Structure 1
Amino acid sequence: MSEHKVIACPVCGLPLLASGKNWRCDNGHSYDEARQGYLNLLVAQHKKSKAPGDTMDMVDARQRLLDSQLYRPISDSLNQWILDWAMNKEAQPDNPLQIADVGCGEGYYTQRLQQMLEDYQQPHNLYGADISKDAVKRAAKRSPAIDWLVATGG
Structure 2
Amino acid sequence: MSVFNQSRGRIIQIIIGVVFIVITAQLINLQIFSSQYKLAAENNAIYRKIIYPDRGIIFDRKKRALLENTISFDLIVTPSESKGTDTASLCAILGIDTAEYKKRMLDLIFKNTRVRPSVFEPLLSAELYAKLTENMYKFPGFVLSERSVRTYPFNTAAQLLGY
TM-score, normalization by structure 1: 0.30
RCO (CA 8 Å, sep 6+): is it higher in 1 or 2? 2
**Higher percent of residues as helix:** 2
TM-score, normalization by structure 2: 0.29
